[in-house]
Amino acid sequence: MWPGVSVHAVGSPVLRVSYFPNQTLANGATLNLGTGDTFFVLTIYVHNDGDAPLQLGPVTLPTGMSFVVDPSTELLAPGELVAASVVCDATASGQLVIPSNDPAADPFSATLSCSLDGTGTPAMELTAEDGTPIAAGSGSLTVVSGESAQVMIYNRGGGSRTMHMSGVTAAPGDLLYVAGAYGNYGYVAFGGAPTSSRLACEHQQTGEPLMGDFTISVEAEEVSGSYTFTLRCVEAGGLVPAGSDATGRGALLAALLTALGTAGVIVARRRPAPR
């Protein structure tokens, strides 16, 4: 080593492909996007996990599939990703091919298939982000006040038609922050990847944390009625929801909130940090 001269290793790009919600699509893998009766979408992402720029070449799909946004020729800096959502326009099967300057994965290739011969009436199924089922009517999800959680919405059982999400609402509806169905654009194939909705235990306008129980209703065009469950916004540490009598304050809170028309729901003001 000469004095005053330093040597730096030349970095390399690393291509990785994932699909919604957070699944890896390996090079050489096979993926069935699902079944429907009208077009549906699978959101995929191309990542650069390396420490040098990743240059993509012309990306190709099987006949019968198309991109919402074509990622071809994108240049990704280290740590960047690009969404390249795939639309199933017709029954199809073939290769997704992504050329790049990643020497270990040039080209990336995976077999994709989908079907548009679905029939019958879809059936909705909800889970927490970790896969825990949320039963219709009797199910619940507990979230710490001021935080949020993602609910996964699947098309399982029943018929095999495409399920088009039409709304996710909360009651009382003027308080809780609800992000409508997103991911895969709200089109859910039978047996395919889910869409999702993010629920935040905070006021939709002020951002103040909320505590209490909310009724969440999820609806799809092809499904009769609403899929409902209870969102419980609780104090940090898993304590009881506001409005409970467990601490001796519940009766007074409930009386005050009933007068305000929002029984069982309170705004939990954040305390200033100690100096």
* Cis peptide preceding 21, ω within 30 of 0: yes
Query: Could you confirm whether domain 15-115 is CATH 3.40.50.2300?
Result: no
Q: Which of 160, 150, 164, 222 is nearest to 191 (CA)?
A: 160
Per-residue pLDDT tens listing for the chain (275 residues): 344 433 334 689 999 999 988 899 999 999 999 999 999 999 999 999 999 999 999 999 999 999 998 999 999 999 999 998 899 999 999 999 999 999 999 899 999 999 999 999 999 999 999 999 999 999 999 999 999 999 999 999 788 999 999 989 998 876 788 887 667 788 999 999 999 999 999 998 888 999 999 999 999 999 989 999 999 999 987 554 444 433 333 333 333 333 334 444 444 444 334 44
Q: Rounded to 5 degrees, what are φ and ψ at 131?
A: 95, -5
The contacts of residue 2 (CB under 8 Å, 6+ apart) are: none
pLDDT at 234: 94
Measured torsion, CA atoms of residues 206, 195, 184, 21, in degrees rounded to the nearest 10: 90
One fold for both 15-115 and 122-267? yes
| Contact yes or no for 117/91 (Cβ under 8 A) | yes
CATH 2.60.120.380 fits 122-267, yes or no: no
What are the sequence ranges of the domains in the chain? 15-115, 122-267
- Which residue carries 């300057």 as its tokens? 101
